[in-house]
Amino acid sequence: MTTGERIKLQRKKLSMSAEQLAEKVNLSPATIYRYEKGDIEKVPADILKKIARALNSSPAYLMGWEPDSKPPIPAGFQPLPKRDRIPRVGQIACGTPILAEENVEAYDEVPSDWHADFTLLCQGDSMEPKIKDGDVVAIHSQPMVENGEVAAVLIDGEATLKRVFLFDDHIELRAENPTFPTILRIGEDMNTITIEGKAVGLCRKL
């Protein structure tokens, strides 16, 4: 089986169109079709890496260096869920969108069923014991959350995690750790806080 045939087979397994794959790797659909048909026999190494990542595969498999079959999963274990590679956001430049290129520090892989759009590295112990210093928290982008939910909020150009409580005349951002004071904004000052999304998952080293 050729590299192009393996690309097509893996794409079909994921129910992914050539157009979708092309968008993920920043190529034209015509180029993807040419790779799959063998019109272009040698796929450049850097492009092959991008295609393999988009197809949840490896360059070695697409090149035919790995066997098609995988060893059986031992009893008592579950296969890893499908994962997405999403940006980790750091310090936010004033006035720029949270997912602007200059705000992206790294990338993390999280389960696809979290429907996360970006991650934040938790610094400090304001959300202890639920979220610890050094935890990576996955966020689903949405402009509002239910009262009491943990959300990524933007305050003074910096993203932070807090429990959000929104009222008609004020907004409260509460830390999980009771030793930290509640952040309160009243009236027009409520506009200084932007809800960027809901916390949907936690990545922690053991």
Long-range contacts, stretch 107-110, CB < 8 angstroms, 24+ apart: 108/136, 108/138, 108/203, 109/83, 109/84, 109/85, 110/83, 110/84, 110/86, 110/138, 110/201, 110/203
Q: Are residues 25 and 47 in contact, defined by beta-carbon separation less than 8 angstroms?
A: yes
Alpha carbons 193 and 47: distance in angstroms, whole number = 41
Q: Are residues 151 and 142 in contact, defined by beta-carbon separation less than 8 angstroms?
A: no
Active site residue 70: no
Active site residue 198: no
Q: Which two tokens stand for residue 58?
A: 């490896």
Q: Which has the closest alpha carbon to 51: 14, 11, 108?
A: 11
Q: Are residues 204 and 132 in contact, defined by beta-carbon separation less than 8 angstroms?
A: yes
What is the side-by-side order of every strand in the sheet holding 118-121?
104-111, 83-89, 118-121, 136-141, 193-203, 150-155, 158-166, 170-174, 183-186
| Catalytic member of 15, 24, 57, 126 | 126
Cis peptide before 44 (omega within 30 of 0): no
| Catalytic member of 8, 57, 162, 198 | 162
**Residues with catalytic roles:** 126, 162
